[in-house]
């Protein structure tokens, strides 16, 4: 497959959606032009993730939006997702690749240059780099500062696969992440918890679109 | 495949092993003659379950013991397990079967006749029926009495696939479960928390072996 060239990437988490359904959030994000959706829903059992995944697959397929499943390769296959995203505590990239084949997208979370290099060597198609800014969306210390756009720049310099920044990204700071070398940004709260998830997606896309990637040895301009 | 004909079935859970490793418990159970091992380890992340699974696969393959993975079809495939065991909150039996193919063993938890019939209709190879006796090993109310051997008898009457009873089973009460119509018994604590897991496995096997299944079309004593 071609390396994913996503500018905006929604990671789902029903518990942050202020009572709205994940489907409703995904629908709004698609209307707002999101490029990829990751079915995360970590606190939901496999049966529900599978059932929800079938519905999200229908919406994303209709819209031509890529669908990635967090962690579970089996659910990704069962709902015919485009790929899987694994973290450092999930199945190794090479194992996920072996199960899904070469046509699937396999992404990996990396917070250091070493993790990024290893994921690329194992065959990852893209990296989720973060936590960029301190965030309460995922299971990280909400007080931490995050690795910052500097880490994106360091990783972009070390690998040649696309990077999406994740963690505490908003329309206000997304530009810095892209300028540091990311292709796009992944968010949970910025879209999921927004008053208007569609407008939030559009604002994010606009911020990424207008950012000027630094012209250097990273992946920005290749 | 042939329907599994297990008499003793160990379900792993490191947190109940009194500080011993899961590998150590599995090794002792194999020495004691266990017929099948289910990699459960619900409170462990996927990476660790995969790594541990590779080691358990080596031990079980050497001994000719069947290895089943709880819930995760992807891990089952990645470690070349013999099959998967799904609960009512996991992927549906038919989906697991579709992902694993007809040669794999697919088991399903059932606590009612309706669940048992549905699992059989979807293609399950065996049923784990329980909770038989109140137990603290799994995520059930420790105060509950369990469905009892009567439920095994009712389910054995309704389906034609093998049944293993699970939940609070010991060498003392295993006989009643087999007499009610189960082929064998699955345990966590009885082996995992035993002072001597090998001896506990032997005692369990002996109890199952000497129990006399009721000789008729299904229900225990009719």
Q: Give every CB contact of residue A213 below 8 A, 6+ residues apart in sequence.
A: A178, A179, A181, A220, A221
The stretch A104-124 carries a mean pLDDT of 98
CB B4 within 8 A of CB B128: no
Q: State the smallest CA–CA distance between residue B149 and chain A in angstroms.
A: 28
Q: Select from B92, B136, B98 the least CA-distant residue to B115.
A: B92
The annotation places the binding site of B for Mg(2+) at 71, 90
* Residues whose CB falls within 8 Å of the CB of residue A80, separated by 6 or more in sequence, listed in order: A57
Q: Which of A23-32, B105-114, B136-145, B153-162 has the lowest mean pLDDT?
A: B136-145
Residue B222 clears pLDDT 70, i.e. is over it: no
Cβ pair A45:B89 closer than 8 A: yes
Does B78 touch chain A if contact means CB atoms closer than 8 Å? Answer: yes
pLDDT at B139 over 60: no
Contact between B47 and A90 using a beta-carbon 8 Å cutoff: yes
Q: Is B136 on the interface with A (CB under 8 A)?
A: no
Q: Is the pLDDT of residue B135 over 50?
A: yes
Complex ipTM, two decimals? 0.92
pLDDT grade for A134, boundaries at 50, 70 and 90: confident
* CA distance linking residue A151 with residue A169, whole number of Å: 14
C-alpha distances (whole Å) from B163 to each of A80, A131, B109, B133 are: 32, 47, 10, 16
Q: Give the residue ranges of the annotated binding site of B.
A: 38-42, 70-71, 90, 109, 135-138, 168, 188-189
- Cβ atoms of B33 and B8 closer than 8 Å: yes
**What size, in residues, is chain A?**
222
Q: What is the 3-state secondary structure (H, E, C) of A70-107?
A: ECCHHHHHHCCCCEEEECCCCCCHHHHHHHHCCCCEEE
Nearest to B39 by CA among B26, B29, B28: B26
- Predicted confidence band of residue A42 (pLDDT cuts 50, 70, 90): confident
Is residue B42 pLDDT above 90, yes or no?
no
Q: Identify the CATH number of the domain defined by range B8-210.
A: 3.20.20.70
Beta carbons within 10 angstroms of residue A21's beta carbon: 12
What totals of helices (H) and strands (E) does chain A contain, helices first?
A: 9, 8
pLDDT at A217 over 50: no
pLDDT band at A218 (very low <50, low <70, confident <90, very high): very low
**Segment B27-39, tens digit of pLDDT:** 999 999 999 999 9
Report the range of poorest mean pLDDT among A24-33, A39-48, A140-149, B3-12: A140-149
**Which band of pLDDT confidence, cut at 50, 70 and 90, is reported for residue A222?**
very low
pLDDT at A135 over 90: no
Q: Is A111 annotated as a binding residue?
A: no
At residue A106, the pLDDT reads 98
Residue B11 has pLDDT above 50, yes or no: yes
Q: Which residues of A touch B71 (CB under 8 A)?
A: 46
Partner B, chain A 143-202, Cβ-Cβ below 8 Å = none
Chain A hits for B48, Cβ within 8 Å: 89
Instruction: Retrieve residue A167's tokens.
Output: 């963690």
> Are B169 and B182 contacting, i.e. CB atoms less than 8 angstroms apart?
no
Is the pLDDT at A221 greater than 80? The verdict is: no
CB atoms within 10 A of CB A216: 12
Q: Evaluate if residue A215 carries a pLDDT over 90.
A: no
Three-state helix/strand/coil letters over B17-85: CCCCCHHHHHHHHHHCCCCEEEECCCCCCHHHHHHHHHHHHHHHHHHCCEEEEECCHHHHHHCCCCEEE
Phi, psi of A107 (to 5 degrees): -110, 160
């Amino acid at each position: 497959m071609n390396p994913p060239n996503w500018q905006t990437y929604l990671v789902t988490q029903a518990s942050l959606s202020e009572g709205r359904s994940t489907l409703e959030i995904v629908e709004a994000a698609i209307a707002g032009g999101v490029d990829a959706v990751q079915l995360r829903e970590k606190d939901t059992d496999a049966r529900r993730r599978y059932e929800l995944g079938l519905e999200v697959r229908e919406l994303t397929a209709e819209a031509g939006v890529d669908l990635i499943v967090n962690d579970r390769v089996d659910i990704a296959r069962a709902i015919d997702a485009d790929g899987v995203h694994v973290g450092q505590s999930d199945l190794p990239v090479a194992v996920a690749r072996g199960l899904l084949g070469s046509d699937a997208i396999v992404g990996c979370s990396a917070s250091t240059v070493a993790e990024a290099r290893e994921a690329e060597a194992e065959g990852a198609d893209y990296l989720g780099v973060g936590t960029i800014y301190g965030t309460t969306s995922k299971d990280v210390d909400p007080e931490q500062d995050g690795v910052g756009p500097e880490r994106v720049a360091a990783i972009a310099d070390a690998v040649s696969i696309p990077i999406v920044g994740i963690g505490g990204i908003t329309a206000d700071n997304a530009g810095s992440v892209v300028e540091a070398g990311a292709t796009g940004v992944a968010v949970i709260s910025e879209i999921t918890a927004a008053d208007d998830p569609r407008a939030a997606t559009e604002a994010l896309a606009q911020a990424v679109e207008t950012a000027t990637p630094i012209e250097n040895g990273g992946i920005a301009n290749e």
